[in-house]
Amino acid sequence: MASRPTPTYAQAVAPSAKGKKGCQARSPVSASSVAFASGEAFTKSPPPLPQAVRRFFASRTTFEPHPEALKIAAHFPDIAASVLREANCSLPLSFTCTVNDKGSGSLLGTNLHTPASAYTPYFPPLTLRLNKAFPVGNSPWDLFKPTPNETQLLIHSIPLAFLSSDDVQLFPSLHESIRNARGVSILSSRYLNPDPESRDQKSATSVVVTVALPDAFAMLPSINLFSRNRRVEQMFSSSKNSQCKKCWKFSHISTRCPSILPVCPFCSLAHTKAEHRCPNPSCPKGGNLRPVLACCPSSMACCPNCQEEHSARSKDCPSRPNATPEAPELQPQQTQDSMDPAEDQAGPSTVLRPAPGAPPHTPSAPVLPRDAPPARHRAQRTITVTDLAPRESGDESLDSDSSEGSAH
């Protein structure tokens, strides 16, 4: 049998005209095709901005409902657009408007890439036109301002030996390490557990850092600090007035609800509000087709908290705590201006998710218990979204203070 001739180097590197069996020969990559592909990569649009970055609001001097809230929400976007057009503004002119139950009005830019701060020079004329179009007597609207877009994150299981016991020195010790790890500059920091004596009884602790909302995505779900992977999660707040949207009880939020099944706020049965239907196929109010409260005698209202004939959200419910403003479920936190950034449900949500391509998290400490005990220092407590994985045995030595924290 004749041996096959050994190919030369030129023959080996030359493109084959036949290619593999059953496949067409690949054409060589040219410089023009590489340049075209590179150009396409650079023309991709930036990621959309969160709602909190695109919203600005005006609060009233006294917090009370406005009698024309629906009219303001319907017509002020067009009024604001005319004000900006008169000012020869080149920014997008499309907005949605919301007026909450405290009388604060907000404008949300529908352009996903224009921040609210871009409209700052036009806040005075917008406020003036709002007060002229919808006068409110002795409680006018204050100057428009961007919605606070900061959020707080919890970093767990940091050994106390690596941190300063002085709260003032905590910030510089964390700021440099976090900036080196993720390129994020934190705005403030504090211990989750404010009691130094209680912290000293454990070997590790949790800290709360404040960052700009866009920077928070770069830190989730974990960060490498002091040569170990540390779990990071968004911090939530609740008070005795917070009402869970899953079981509809008070003093906690849905992300910390101990109930396994949802509860209907209309009839107290084990289904969501969206699934509520009247069993009467000829319901006069159409309750057999959509959720309707007390639509007919076949579907009577039943509050899951007091068992009386009203919705769980009724302000007259005897189980409802005495009124103080309800704490927000999501960060960024409200300020004393009483603007609720989460009221407008149009557009992308501001719930923080791990950044794409983030490294998988391997816990270096045991997960937190599901139910945190009540805070001892203040009436309002801080709680977190916890991991549902069971605690592994033998991991009790390095525990954080997450279950002992209180709102600060």
Q: How much is the pLDDT for 339?
A: 46
CA-based nearest residue to 221, from 107, 323, 356 = 356
> Which of the listed ranges 260-264, 379-383, 397-401 does the model predict with the highest average pLDDT?
260-264
Please give the DSSP secondary-structure letter assigned to residue 189: E
Q: Is 329 within 8 Å of 314 (Cβ atoms)?
A: no
Distances (CA, A) of 145 to 18, 127, 211, 269: 67, 10, 19, 43
In the predicted model, is pLDDT for residue 1 greater than 60? no
Separation CA 8–CA 1 (nearest Å) = 21
Distances (CA, A) of 341 to 50, 120, 250: 11, 18, 21
Q: Is 342 within 8 Å of 330 (Cβ atoms)?
A: yes
Q: pLDDT class for 83, splitting at 50, 70, 90?
A: very high
Tell me the CB-side half-sphere exposure of residue 184, using CA atoms within 13 A.
Answer: 24
Q: pLDDT class for 348, splitting at 50, 70, 90?
A: very low
Residue 108, strand partner residues: 55, 96
Q: How much is the pLDDT for 98?
A: 92
179 shares its domain with 297: no
304 shares its domain with 183: no
The domain containing residue 122 runs over which residues? Answer: 51-146
Q: How much is the pLDDT for 406?
A: 37
Domain membership of residue 339 (yes or no) is no
Domain membership of residue 57 (yes or no) is yes
- The number of distinct structural domains making up the chain is 3
CA-based nearest residue to 144, from 104, 189, 177 = 104
**Domain with 59 in it: what CATH number?**
3.30.70
> Which of the listed ranges 13-17, 29-33, 275-279, 380-384 does the model predict with the highest average pLDDT?
275-279
How large is the average pLDDT for residues 304-326?
82
Q: pLDDT class for 289, splitting at 50, 70, 90?
A: very high
Q: How much is the pLDDT for 390?
A: 39
Non-local (6+) Cβ contacts of 221 within 8 A are 231, 232, 233, 354, 358, 361
The per-residue pLDDT for range 382-396, each reduced to its tens digit, is 334 334 343 443 333
How large is the average pLDDT for residues 69-73?
92
Q: What is the pTM of this model?
A: 0.43
State what percent of residues in the chain have pLDDT above 90.
35
99 shares its domain with 218: no
How large is the average pLDDT for residues 88-108?
91
State what percent of residues in the chain have pLDDT above 70.
68
Q: How much is the pLDDT for 391?
A: 40
Residue 237, strand partner residues: 382
In the predicted model, is pLDDT for residue 155 greater than 90? yes
| 190's tokens | 């504090």
Q: How much is the pLDDT for 147?
A: 83
CA-based nearest residue to 129, from 118, 140, 117, 114 = 140
Taking residue 392's Cβ as centre, other Cβ atoms within 10 Å add up to 10
Q: pLDDT class for 152, splitting at 50, 70, 90?
A: confident
Domain membership of residue 16 (yes or no) is no
Residue 230, strand partner residues: 223
Domain membership of residue 210 (yes or no) is yes
| 391's tokens | 């605690």
Radius of gyration (C-alpha) of the chain in whole angstroms: 28
Last residue of a domain, one of 88, 117, 146: 146
Q: Is 115 within 8 Å of 132 (Cβ atoms)?
A: no
Please tell me whether residue 54 adopts helix, strand or coil conformation: helix
Separation CA 93–CA 73 (nearest Å) = 15
Last residue of a domain, one of 103, 130, 146: 146
213 shares its domain with 356: yes
